A and B are shown apart, each in its own frame.
Chain A
Amino acid sequence: MTVPIIDVHNLTKSYGAVQALRGVSFSVDEGEVFGLLGPNGAGKTSTVEILEGLRPPDGGLVSVCGLDPQTSGNAFKQEIGAVLQSTALPDKIRVNEALTMFASFYTRHRETDGLLKRFGLEEKRNAFYSQLSGGQKQRLALAMSLVNEPRVLFLDEPTAGLDPQVRREIYDIIEELKHEKKTILLTTHYIEEAERLCDRVAIVDQGRVIAYGTPRDLKQRAAGTSRIELRLARPEPEEALRGLEGVADCRATDGLYLMHSTRVPQTIVSLVKYLEAQGNELAGLEIAAPSLEDVFLELTGRRLRD
């Protein structure tokens, strides 16, 4: 039995009338990449920033590296590294200056040249922050979060708003950190990100953890439902398809129908019958194993992203 490096128990937080967290609990083991997956407004940033000591919780117990983020002050800050949801630095600070300055704040710190090299910022070392691209800024934020060799790394939506190629670059970096057995708490609203990077995932929605486990376990929990994607020769109303046997839900986007079914064979049979009766035809059909998206859909009746 190992003691979890992050332990969150029944965390609550409100902003005025908005209840952002309604009793969030989970724990993260050392060396694990843990994901908080949920749609915008689910409470991911609130959770992470309470763990970073940036926001006070209203209630619940929080421990990071055995310390209370609210009361442990600098001893706590020495142990953690973080990429905030949006990092801001002065426009006229040079890449190298920012990194060296932050490194100097910690008693234990890495050599900054190595970090610049590793994050592909060597040629940009003398560039102003304002001259960097979005991807470069994010790599600098990652480099800055590692200057103190943190025991725990918090990454709040590290790839949000980046284009796919840059996103893959960041994935590679995070996978590398994962191989080094770094403990990472990552938040995301991208399914692929959670499935690809995380050892365990907590799915959060409206301030609650609604599912919790390894991506594989979670998907098996949703094994009862499979995803059916189909294209039709002529459009059909969603409600009609939703009424077919075994169908849990159905949504149409740009001529693509996405259905979830608990009994695939029956669904297919009744679909074919229905289309025949309408004089319509199938233009394409795909049946896929469930993803975390489907888990979310099954649990909430909503899609993660719209």
Chain B
Amino acid sequence: MRHSWTLTKVRMRLALRNRAFLFFSLVFPLVFLFLFLGLFTRGNVSAVPYMLASVLALTIMGSFWGLSMQLVTFREQGILRRFRIAPVGAGAMLASSIASNYLLTLPTVFIEFTLARHLFHMREWGNLWGVFILVTLGIITFASLGLIVASVTNTAQETQVINQLLWSAFLFLSGATLPLPMLPGWIQSFALFMPATYLVVGLERVLIAHVGAYAIRAELLSLAVCAAIAFAVSQQLFRWEPESKVPRSAKLWAASAIIPFVLLGIWETSYGHVRSTATTDFMSTVQQAAPRTRGRLRMMPESDAPPSTAPPDADSSDAPK
């Protein structure tokens, strides 16, 4: 525990001295905030919480990139093996990745929240306790997923490529950038298997419907179980040496981290309410909107259709493994 904390402090300092990191973890999310809340809401205050949910989700999902890259670079450059001589375990090293991500992301979330309320005149705070729990679990889960990628790739370059692929999936197949109800039906079915979806929908719930943590327990539980599996697997697969290669079974182990979301996805597909609540939250935002905005936003939701009970289409077999 003590070693994790020491490592956390040092790694945070190193991250803060890294311009690229600062840009992606602070400047970039704020640009998104101004874009979404400033431009897309078109001065319509009631759309602010909805947009804020997206911006927060993007910020939280950013921890996925975060310090897993730092860890891979450390391994590649032979920095990790110096730590290996000292009494430092893989667990402490991994825990410090998550903790430093959390502590570095939290201020950004706080700034976004404050700006939304005071600069963009969001009417209410939402269920703050719910927001806090979801943000915390979200960061931990996405940072753990980053660690999984770090554990099955050999070079920083490889990590970048895999991260890009998964990141695009998180962004475009989940409702994080476009509202879920506006997406084509097959993407909606697929999105039910993505951790990102539950993060976004959960945030919409606590920010718009003001529900508490209990109401989003399924989302929270899946995030927590996913994080626990991802952490355990990356500890198992941890490599200190630049030349040690990924064992063949590793990719299977890594894929096991998404089990909770496969289960949740199957359940949601059959009995779920996520798509309907997402639509409700979306519609309530749209209906409160000023007429000119309403016209724009109404264009797309073609999915007033009941949630599909069919198994996800063939496309979903492309699920990231």
**Closest CB in chain B relative to A298 CB, distance in Å:** 36
Q: Across the interface, do B10 and A101 meet the contact criterion of CB distance under 8 Å?
A: yes
Q: Is A77 an interface residue (CB 8 A)?
A: yes
Bound together, the chains give a CA A234 to CA B58 distance in angstroms of 79
Q: Is B291 an interface residue (CB 8 A)?
A: no
- A289: B residues at CB distance < 8 A: none
Q: Is A74 an interface residue (CB 8 A)?
A: yes
Bound together, the chains give a CA A101 to CA B93 distance in angstroms of 13
State which residues 85-108 of A face B: CB under 8 Å.
Answer: 86-90, 92-93, 97, 101-102, 104-106
- A81: B residues at CB distance < 8 A: 85
Q: Across the interface, do A54 and B87 meet the contact criterion of CB distance under 8 Å?
A: no
Bound together, the chains give a CA A82 to CA B85 distance in angstroms of 7
In the complex, which residue of chain B has the Cβ closest to the Cβ of A90?
B14
By CB atoms of chain A within 10 A, which of B7, B10, B13, B18 has the most? B10
Q: Is B320 an interface residue (CB 8 A)?
A: no
Q: Across the interface, do B86 and A102 meet the contact criterion of CB distance under 8 Å?
A: yes
Bound together, the chains give a CA A53 to CA B10 distance in angstroms of 25
Bound together, the chains give a CA A77 to CA B88 distance in angstroms of 9
**Closest CB in chain B relative to A55 CB, distance in Å:** 8
Bound together, the chains give a CA A90 to CA B241 distance in angstroms of 16
**Closest CB in chain B relative to A143 CB, distance in Å:** 13
Q: Across the interface, do B87 and A92 meet the contact criterion of CB distance under 8 Å?
A: no
Q: Across the interface, do A52 and B85 meet the contact criterion of CB distance under 8 Å?
A: yes
Bound together, the chains give a CA A105 to CA B85 distance in angstroms of 11
Q: Is A220 an interface residue (CB 8 A)?
A: no
Q: Is B168 an interface residue (CB 8 A)?
A: no
Q: Is B6 an interface residue (CB 8 A)?
A: yes
In the complex, which residue of chain A has the Cβ closest to the Cβ of B92?
A105
Q: Across the interface, do B88 and A84 meet the contact criterion of CB distance under 8 Å?
A: no
Bound together, the chains give a CA A102 to CA B79 distance in angstroms of 13
State which residues 1-27 of B face A: CB under 8 Å.
Answer: 2-3, 6-7, 10, 13-14, 17-18
**Closest CB in chain B relative to A105 CB, distance in Å:** 4
**Closest CB in chain A relative to B82 CB, distance in Å:** 6
**Closest CB in chain A relative to B316 CB, distance in Å:** 41
- A104: B residues at CB distance < 8 A: 2-3, 6
State which residues 155-188 of B face A: CB under 8 Å.
Answer: none
In the complex, which residue of chain A has the Cβ closest to the Cβ of B81?
A54
**Closest CB in chain B relative to A147 CB, distance in Å:** 9
Bound together, the chains give a CA A288 to CA B86 distance in angstroms of 45
From B18, B79, B86, B241, A106 is in contact (CB under 8 Å) with B86
Bound together, the chains give a CA A84 to CA B88 distance in angstroms of 17
In the complex, which residue of chain B has the Cβ closest to the Cβ of A93?
B14
Q: Across the interface, do B85 and A101 meet the contact criterion of CB distance under 8 Å?
A: no
Known contacts A92-B18, A93-B14: A105-B82 contact under CB 8 Å: no
**Closest CB in chain A relative to B1 CB, distance in Å:** 12
In the complex, which residue of chain B has the Cβ closest to the Cβ of A154?
B85
Q: Across the interface, do B81 and A77 meet the contact criterion of CB distance under 8 Å?
A: no
- B132: A residues at CB distance < 8 A: none
In the complex, which residue of chain B has the Cβ closest to the Cβ of A81?
B85
In the complex, which residue of chain A has the Cβ closest to the Cβ of B15?
A92
- B240: A residues at CB distance < 8 A: 54
**Closest CB in chain B relative to A62 CB, distance in Å:** 16
**Closest CB in chain B relative to A148 CB, distance in Å:** 8
In the complex, which residue of chain B has the Cβ closest to the Cβ of A98?
B10
- A101: B residues at CB distance < 8 A: 6-7, 10
Q: Across the interface, do B85 and A88 meet the contact criterion of CB distance under 8 Å?
A: no
From A80, A105, A144, B88 is in contact (CB under 8 Å) with A105
Bound together, the chains give a CA A87 to CA B84 distance in angstroms of 12
Q: Is B78 an interface residue (CB 8 A)?
A: yes
Q: Is A136 an interface residue (CB 8 A)?
A: no
Q: Across the interface, do A92 and B86 meet the contact criterion of CB distance under 8 Å?
A: no
Bound together, the chains give a CA A81 to CA B87 distance in angstroms of 11
Bound together, the chains give a CA A73 to CA B88 distance in angstroms of 10
In the complex, which residue of chain B has the Cβ closest to the Cβ of A49?
B81
Q: Mark B74-97, 1 if CB is under 8 A from A, else 0.
A: 100111011011111100000000
In the complex, which residue of chain A has the Cβ closest to the Cβ of B240?
A54
Q: Across the interface, do A78 and B87 meet the contact criterion of CB distance under 8 Å?
A: yes
Bound together, the chains give a CA A73 to CA B241 distance in angstroms of 17
Q: Across the interface, do A88 and B77 meet the contact criterion of CB distance under 8 Å?
A: yes
Bound together, the chains give a CA A183 to CA B240 distance in angstroms of 27
Q: Across the interface, do B17 and A105 meet the contact criterion of CB distance under 8 Å?
A: no
Q: Across the interface, do B14 and A92 meet the contact criterion of CB distance under 8 Å?
A: yes
Q: Across the interface, do B85 and A77 meet the contact criterion of CB distance under 8 Å?
A: yes
By CB atoms of chain A within 10 A, which of B7, B10, B17, B87 has the most? B87
Q: Across the interface, do A89 and B79 meet the contact criterion of CB distance under 8 Å?
A: yes
**Closest CB in chain B relative to A125 CB, distance in Å:** 15
Using a CB–CB cutoff of 8 Å, the interface residues on chain A facing chain B are: 52-54, 73-74, 77-78, 80-82, 84, 86-90, 92-93, 97, 101-102, 104-106, 144
A-B contact pairs, 30 of them (CB 8 A): A52-B85, A54-B81, A54-B241, A73-B87, A74-B89, A77-B85, A77-B86, A81-B85, A82-B85, A84-B78, A84-B82, A86-B78, A88-B77, A88-B78, A88-B79, A88-B82, A89-B79, A90-B74, A90-B79, A92-B14, A92-B17, A92-B18, A93-B10, A93-B13, A97-B10, A101-B10, A104-B3, A104-B6, A105-B6, A105-B87
Beyond A84-B81, A93-B13, A97-B10, 11 additional pairs, beta carbon < 8 A: A74-B89, A77-B86, A86-B78, A88-B78, A90-B14, A90-B79, A92-B17, A97-B13, A101-B6, A101-B10, A105-B88
